């Protein structure tokens, strides 16, 4: 730390992203990316002619990608704003809607970035423990008088609330912002987007990083009523008006319009998830019911940390969290079938020595 850093930030513990190793012989199942390339239509559209336009700024209104999302998800363009990843949507939301009178609240085990945004913006969140089985109890979110952040499905557990449970929480908090983080929703959970015209306090955040195979393009978006979108736009235009680069706008448009490729990729991931859960079950693992492109799993005969390390030695990278409540688990991203077979083979070798 230099002697110039503002005192405001001296104690921030930044978000630690999953390792992005430089070596390519690793099987990378640690950051919930897609194992598949972007849609062929994306690759075709990112051509020389578009690259040659990089001397020009991108469209600050990101109209092309917003219109494509609107037509695909059946909402109006005025209900959408783009973020540089959904992380930026989260940042704008904490910034716009949380302060000393409107503190945020979220689960003890959820996406780790929520806590970091609170530190960044000087907020004091209320932390709501998950139930013993690591599920969210909707009753714990009734009448909070606070801004509510819920990842649905949750990460790293993979568990999802139903749409009626989400609506129940909204109904019990009509005067507070509720952000439903749907980063993983396409892998089997119900979206709350259909509720945005019914509730003026709901924000749904989405990402292109998982089911749209574009983590490296950094594209996310929020869906909400037009006034909320205008508030989020105020944050964006006060910070970085050109937050989405030219090529990512094109990539996002093509990716969201290629429904066929999207559905194919998602269905393969769901199949590979079922394969992996079954194979691990045969070996005694307990896996939480996942509605995402990752699983959260544990085995009583090996600690989460040891299993993580043993896989790492076999060039397979998964994620382990040190937090006391979940330290027995590892989080495994669902990759291609070959990758998952390699994970199972490596697990068999590891278990021989346990």
Q: Which of 35, 38, 85, 304 binds ligand PMP (CB under 6 A)?
A: 85
Q: Which of 82, 128, 151, 204 binds ligand PMP (CB under 6 A)?
A: 151
CA gap 150, 163 in Å, rounded? 13
Least distance between ligand PMP and beta carbon 49 (Å): 28
The smaller minimum CB distance to ligand PMP, of residues 96 and 204, is found at 204
The smaller minimum CB distance to ligand PMP, of residues 209 and 347, is found at 209
CA gap 175, 199 in Å, rounded? 10
CA gap 157, 151 in Å, rounded? 10
Tell whether residue 38 is a contact of ligand PMP (CB under 6 A): no
Question: Sign of torsion, CA 310 313 314 317?
Answer: positive
Task: Find how far residue 294's CA is from the centre of its chain.
Answer: 11
Helix (H) or strand (E) holding 127, with range, is strand 126-128
Q: Which of 39, 157, 173, 207 binds ligand PMP (CB under 6 A)?
A: 207
The smaller minimum CB distance to ligand PMP, of residues 273 and 302, is found at 273
Residue found under tokens 């195979």: 213
Tokens of 211: 């089911």
Tell whether residue 295 is a contact of ligand PMP (CB under 6 A): no
Helices H / strands E in the chain, number of each: 11, 12
The contact pattern for ligand PMP, residues 99-118, with x = CB under 6 A and - = no contact, is ------------x-------
Tell whether residue 158 is a contact of ligand PMP (CB under 6 A): no
The smaller minimum CB distance to ligand PMP, of residues 15 and 199, is found at 15
Q: Which of 45, 215, 346, 351 binds ligand PMP (CB under 6 A)?
A: 215
Say if residues 219 and 65 touch (Cβ distance below 8 Å): yes
| Residues ≥6 apart with Cβ < 8 Å to 60 | 237, 241, 242
- Count CB neighbours of 22 within 10 A: 5
**Smallest Cα–Cα separation from 210: which of 74, 35, 64, 89?**
35
The contact pattern for ligand PMP, residues 53-72, with x = CB under 6 A and - = no contact, is --------------------
Options 83-91, 141-149, 276-284, 295-303: segment touching ligand PMP (CB under 6 A): 83-91
Q: Which of 80, 128, 136, 155 binds ligand PMP (CB under 6 A)?
A: 155
- Count CB neighbours of 306 within 10 A: 15
Tell whether residue 86 is a contact of ligand PMP (CB under 6 A): yes
Tell whether residue 186 is a contact of ligand PMP (CB under 6 A): no
Least distance between ligand PMP and beta carbon 82 (Å): 11
Least distance between ligand PMP and beta carbon 218 (Å): 7
Pairing of strands 147-151, 126-128: unpaired
Tell whether residue 258 is a contact of ligand PMP (CB under 6 A): no
CA gap 10, 32 in Å, rounded? 30
The smaller minimum CB distance to ligand PMP, of residues 177 and 183, is found at 183
Q: Which of 158, 220, 252, 304 binds ligand PMP (CB under 6 A)?
A: 220
Tell whether residue 252 is a contact of ligand PMP (CB under 6 A): no
Alpha helices in 151-214 (DSSP H): 163-171
**Smallest Cα–Cα separation from 145: which of 118, 176, 120?**
176
The smaller minimum CB distance to ligand PMP, of residues 215 and 247, is found at 215
CA gap 78, 73 in Å, rounded? 13
CA gap 256, 39 in Å, rounded? 9
Closest residue to bound ligand PMP by CB: 85
Tell whether residue 73 is a contact of ligand PMP (CB under 6 A): no
Binding-residue total with ligand PMP (CB under 6 A): 12
Residue found under tokens 């066929």: 260
Least distance between ligand PMP and beta carbon 301 (Å): 29
Q: Which residues contribute to the site for ligand PMP (CB under 6 A)?
A: 85-87, 111, 151, 155, 181, 183, 207, 209, 215, 220
């Amino acid at each position: 730390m230099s002697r110039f850093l503002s005192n405001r930030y001296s104690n921030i513990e930044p978000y630690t992203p999953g390792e992005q190793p430089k070596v390519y012989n690793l099987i990378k199942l640690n950051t919930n990316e897609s194992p598949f390339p972007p849609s062929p239509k994306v690759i075709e559209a990112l051509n020389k002619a578009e690259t040659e336009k990089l001397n020009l700024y991108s469209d600050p209104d990101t109209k092309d990608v917003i219109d494509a999302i609107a037509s695909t998800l059946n909402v109006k363009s005025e209900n959408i704003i783009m973020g540089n990843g959904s992380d930026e949507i989260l940042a704008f939301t904490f910034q716009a809607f949380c302060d000393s009178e409107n503190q945020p609240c979220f689960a003890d085990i959820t996406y780790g970035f929520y806590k970091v945004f609170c530190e960044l913006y000087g907020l004091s969140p209320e932390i709501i423990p998950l139930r013993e089985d690591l599920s969210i109890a909707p009753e714990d979110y009734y009448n909070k008088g606070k801004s509510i952040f819920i990842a649905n499905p949750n990460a790293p557990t993979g568990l999802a609330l139903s749409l009626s449970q989400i609506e129940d929480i909204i109904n019990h908090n009509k005067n507070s912002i509720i952000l439903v983080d749907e980063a993983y929703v396409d892998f089997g959970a119900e979206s709350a987007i259909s509720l945005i015209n019914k509730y003026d306090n709901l924000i749904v955040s989405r990402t292109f990083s998982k089911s749209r195979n574009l983590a490296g393009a950094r594209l996310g978006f929020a869906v909400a009523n037009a006034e909320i979108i205008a508030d989020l736009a105020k944050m964006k235009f006060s910070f970085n008006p050109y937050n989405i680069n030219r090529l990512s706008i094109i990539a996002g448009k093509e990716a969201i319009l290629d429904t066929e490729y999207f559905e194919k990729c998602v269905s393969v991931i769901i199949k590979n998830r079922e394969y992996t859960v079954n194979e691990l079950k045969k070996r005694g693992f307990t896996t939480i019911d996942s509605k995402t492109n990752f699983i959260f799993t544990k085995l009583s005969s090996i600690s989460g940390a040891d299993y993580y390390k043993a896989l790492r030695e076999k060039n397979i990278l998964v994620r382990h969290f040190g937090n006391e409540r979940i330290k027995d688990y590892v989080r495994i991203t669902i990759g291609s079938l070959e990758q998952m077979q390699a994970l199972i083979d490596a697990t068999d070798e590891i278990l021989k020595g346990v």
